[in-house]
Structure 1
Amino acid sequence: MGNKQWTSLLGLANRARKVVSGEELAIKEIRSGRAKLVLLAEDASVNTEKKISDKCASYGVPLRKVPDRYMLGQAIGKDARVVVAITEEGFAKKLITMLDGSLWG
């Protein structure tokens, strides 16, 4: 039930140009302090997961897991995406609330 809500909010954030997808771009946003939230697919490789979670931890960026790369990509109208960074505080806060309250995991 909660799935649809966060994916449509992510889609909205994407249309507002507040979403960056892909590992390298996400890391760039984390480093620059622009990333307010990072979403990582549960099916990301161990390597990617470690890299992203370490970066988020050292820069104090919230990190949330989502079910898989296809759902993440679909939410922003693209192919499979493993990592997505949200660069706007309002969207980030709302997504955290939705994901923390969702029952998929």
Structure 2
Amino acid sequence: MNKHLNLLGLAVRAGQCTIGEEAIVRDIQKQKAKIVLLAGDIGTQTKKKLTDKCSYYHIPYYMVEERDTLSHAIGKEGRVAIAVLDHGFAKKLQSLLDESIRG
């Protein structure tokens, strides 16, 4: 399993993530979300809504694995988006994701 998925699992267990479209949008607007991860197979409307919000509020977002992989990593079913609220987790996730994109 990828390092960023392990870290994401830790962030969820630490209570530093928001799951669910409406809650994520709220946290983006309140500038609580530090990074947003979207499943590769997210629906087009949901993707547009979340990426538009992230862009507007200058929150970095990444397209990652499919929903099954993402859901498995956090131990919850059918999840297509996760916002990380903790700055430390977000920073490390971002560097791991940037590394995997470049690598």
Q: Please give the TM-score of this superposition, normalised by the length of structure 2.
A: 0.93
Q: Does 1:10 align with 2:2?
A: no
Q: Does 1:19 align with 2:17?
A: yes
How far apart, in 2, do the equivalents of 1:35 and 1:76 lie? 17
**Which residue identity lines up with residue 88 of structure 1 in the other structure?**
D
Any residues of structure 2 matched to 1:1-105 within 5 Å, and which? 3-102=1-100
SS at match of 2:18: strand
| Structure 2 gap segments, 5+ residues each | none
SS at match of 1:61: coil
**Which residue identity lines up with residue 5 of structure 1 in the other structure?**
K
Contact 1:41 1:83 survives alignment (8 Å): yes
| Structure 1 gap segments, 5+ residues each | none
**Which residue identity lines up with residue 78 of structure 1 in the other structure?**
K
For residues 37-76 of structure 1, give each alpha carbon's deviation from its aligned partner in whole angstroms, at most 9, with x where no partner exists: 0000110111111100000000110001112111111111
Contact 1:71 1:80 survives alignment (8 Å): no
Deviation, 1:96, is 0.8
How far apart, in 2, do the equivalents of 1:10 and 1:81 lie? 13
Q: Please give the TM-score of this superposition, normalised by the length of structure 1.
A: 0.91
Deviation, 1:4, is 2.1
Cα root mean square deviation, aligned = 1.4
For residues 73-94 of structure 1, give each alpha carbon's deviation from its aligned partner in whole angstroms, at most 9, with x where no partner exists: 1111101211100000110010
How far apart, in 2, do the equivalents of 1:75 and 1:46 lie? 23
